Amino acid sequence: MTAAIARLNRRTFASLQHYPNYRLFFGGQVISVTGSWMQNIASGWLIVTLTHSPVAVGVLALAQFLPFTIFGLFAGSIVDRVDNRKLIIGTQAVQMVLAAALAGIALGGVAVPWMVYVIAFLRGGVLVLDVPARQSFTYRMVGPAELPNAIALNSSLFNASRVVGPALGGLVIAAVGLGFCFVSNAVSFLAVLASLLLMDERKLFGAPRPDVRPTIWRGTREGIAFARRNRRVWVTLLVVGVVSTVSFNLNVILPVLASTTLHSGPQTFGIISACFGAGALAGALVSASLGRASWKILALGTGLFGLAELLLAPERSVWAAGVLLIALGASFTTWTSNANSGVQLESPDHLRGRVVGLYFYAFNGAAPLGGLLVGWLSALGGTELALAVGGLAALAMTAVCVAALRGEPARPRPLAERAEPAALAA
């Protein structure tokens, strides 16, 4: 038993142990993503304090995710055409400038909702390229053998930051004001930029590209055609699209849950956000220790996510809500890690960026409608109604996933064989 636990622990952090470039990137992201979470909760709380309206928080989500709806379908084709590392350096630098702009209007006392919405829209436009580029670059850093492990570790990093960032953000808001959350985020981008500039390009894995790079339109059609032919990818995209749109709108729900349902302030907002992040971190570490993509775990995680959301709907206790948010977070990273790894490992190298782009389009493309829907449901029947609708939608998609993939043959990937790094593709 002891030996098995030791092997499990080694397996959990395999990507960090084996790949120096990934260690650099991971370390930079620890700092940067924590700053981003401080900005996320500060933006939501700023809109709540300016408007006192759940619908306005939904409009903030609309502004942030509308670029994914407009441009997200084509992002993968762009990612497949360019050097991912250079693209990420550019997108991170632009995000640093936008965080500084938010800090300026907040500290200057001139912030009004439309300014926050415009900056959120611009940031969303940058993330359209940044998110699939970072996911595709993960493959370049660790190769196919450790890809599920690295994706799960990325989720663990993201969600550890979800614990620390909101907690720090709540304290900073209460102590010195919103503006300093935005300042912290702007400074944090220096860490990830340094990590990217210090990488050894010779140790990156090669990604074969076609001799003639497809146009954006043709490349997008090729990615969609592949996804439609591959049953597992298509079902996964369907599940991710529905659940992320209807069920996963915590950026809208949590500020309203803290301020209106639980009748509390920014400290409670930070605590319940951190509870979700703690659960998400635990779920990500479990996924990392497994080191493989599993469609059964995808279905199980989606079902548990829906159940936890239904149980959270009627709660009025901060501590009970916190416990349920831990469960919600654990199930969230379980299904998202497996969905992300699964679609990437099903994809050929030359289409990976496009399929990753489709995955994030499914995850974020309808988020503006989802944010408005949840804001409207919260205004109509409180967070109780919004959470109940979300939980039922997740359970329904669990049933669809199980039914669609029943009878599909197991297709294990040869992940034990690690590919050799190659020079960065031209």
Domain boundaries, the chain: 8-198+214-405
Distance in angstroms (rounded) separating the CA atoms of residues 76 and 129: 8
Percentage of the residues of the chain whose pLDDT score is greater than 90: 38
pLDDT band at 423 (very low <50, low <70, confident <90, very high): very low
Give the count of alpha carbons within 13 A of 76, CB side only. Answer: 27
Task: Name the nearest CA neighbour of 7 among 265, 197, 246, 290.
Answer: 290
SS3 238: helix
**Cα angle 296, 293, 157; round to 5:** 115
- Over residues 384-408, the mean pLDDT reads 89
- pLDDT over 60 at 1, yes or no: no
Distance in angstroms (rounded) separating the CA atoms of residues 339 and 295: 8
Q: What is the pLDDT of residues 156-185, one digit of tens each?
A: 787 677 667 877 888 888 888 889 999 999
pLDDT band at 425 (very low <50, low <70, confident <90, very high): very low
Task: Name the nearest CA neighbour of 379 among 51, 39, 43.
Answer: 51
Q: Which residues pair with 205 in a beta bridge?
A: 421
In 198-294, alpha helices (H):
216-229, 231-242, 250-256, 266-290
Question: For the domain 8-198+214-405, what is the CATH superfamily, name and number?
Answer: MFS general substrate transporter like domains (1.20.1250.20)
Q: What's the pTM value of the predicted model, to 2 decimals?
A: 0.74
How does DSSP classify residue 205?
B
> In whole angstroms, how far apart are CA 168 and each of 40, 192, 290?
12, 20, 31
